[in-house]
Amino acid sequence: MATNFFFNNFSSSQEQNLIEDLVIESIKVYGIDVYYIPKRENKKDKIYGEDSLVEYNTNYLIDMYIKNVDGFGGDGDFLSKFNIEIRDQITFTLARRTFDLEIGAIEAFKRPQEGDLIFFPLNKKLFQIKFVEHEPVFYQMGSLQMYDLKCELFEYSDEVLNTGIADIDNIMFKYSSSLNIFAVLTEDGFELTDENGYTVVNEGFDLEVQDILSDNQDIETEADAILDFTEADPFSEGGNY
């Protein structure tokens, strides 16, 4: 037997729009402005599903609500077998209509994407979206009004950050060990190479500064003192190396 047709609890567009308006207004009142930074994939491996040339070069200022009222979630700060690790997690609530109008229509996204970044201005840290919950409130009046974005503190690994925001882009210049970041570019934006095909980098690149654990130069210096090319070559008749 069908439900009572005098009561319309799940298909009234007026009620659905009213609740959505209230959600958007509440986020604008109690939320915070953050930067949403979509991921650009350039060289995705079809077998492993990873991209070795990820870029983040666009930002969108958008309002979200912080659900972690008592502080960051996750494992927090702890000493692992490798080093001190920070595993902060945070959950943002984003209105569906706000995302569709301000990001989705421009980027042709149907929903927020895992792997995108959110810049949290209070501690000036980047958080990466790990999971998008599309049903945080289960079909209120028959519709969905928001997303819950479950994020973790972003671990930088030579991604290209070119958003135009100094606090974000400086992460790349501070921690990147890639030569391409410091490559000398031509007027057309191409990397300048020498006759052997090696990339020409500016003097701001110093591997020992970019990676304090690197010992390339120390090993090279020791190797120069060990190798002796004047010794006889055992595989030839009286020849040298």
The alpha carbons of the chain give a radius of gyration, in whole angstroms, of 26
For residues 35 and 163, is the Cβ–Cβ distance under 8 A? yes
Task: Specify whether 160 is located in the same domain as 218.
Answer: no
Task: Specify whether 103 is located in the same domain as 166.
Answer: yes
Task: Specify whether 119 is located in the same domain as 191.
Answer: no
Task: Specify whether 171 is located in the same domain as 183.
Answer: no
Task: Specify whether 37 is located in the same domain as 123.
Answer: yes
The string of DSSP letters for 80-121 reads -SSSEEEEEEEEEEEEHHHHIIIIIHHHT-SS--TT-EEEET
pLDDT value, residue 47: 84
pLDDT value, residue 203: 63
Residue 239 lies in a domain: no
Task: Specify whether 44 is located in the same domain as 161.
Answer: yes
Across-strand partners of 55? Answer: 40, 160
Please provide the distance, in angstroms rounded to a whole number, between the alpha carbons at the two ends of the chain: 93
- Write phi, then psi, for 61 (nearest 5 degrees): -80, 120
Task: Specify whether 183 is located in the same domain as 171.
Answer: no
pLDDT value, residue 193: 76
For residues 122 and 92, is the Cβ–Cβ distance under 8 A? no
pLDDT value, residue 89: 94
Q: How far apart are CA 34 and CA 124, in angstroms?
A: 10
- Provide the domain limits for residue 192: 179-226
pLDDT value, residue 206: 61
- 145 CB neighbour count, 10 Å cutoff: 21
Q: Averaged in consecutive runs of 10 residues, what is the pLDDT profile of the chain (241 residues)?
A: 85 93 97 96 80 88 93 84 85 97 94 95 94 95 95 90 91 74 69 74 60 69 70 66 51
Task: Specify whether 77 is located in the same domain as 96.
Answer: yes
pLDDT value, residue 221: 77
Task: Specify whether 170 is located in the same domain as 196.
Answer: no
The string of DSSP letters for 27-54 reads HHHH-EEEEEE--B-SSB-TTT--BSS-
Report the amino acid identity of residue 81.
K
For residues 8 and 43, is the Cβ–Cβ distance under 8 A? no
Helix, coil or strand: residue 237:
coil
pLDDT value, residue 48: 81
Task: Specify whether 103 is located in the same domain as 130.
Answer: yes
Task: Specify whether 92 is located in the same domain as 193.
Answer: no
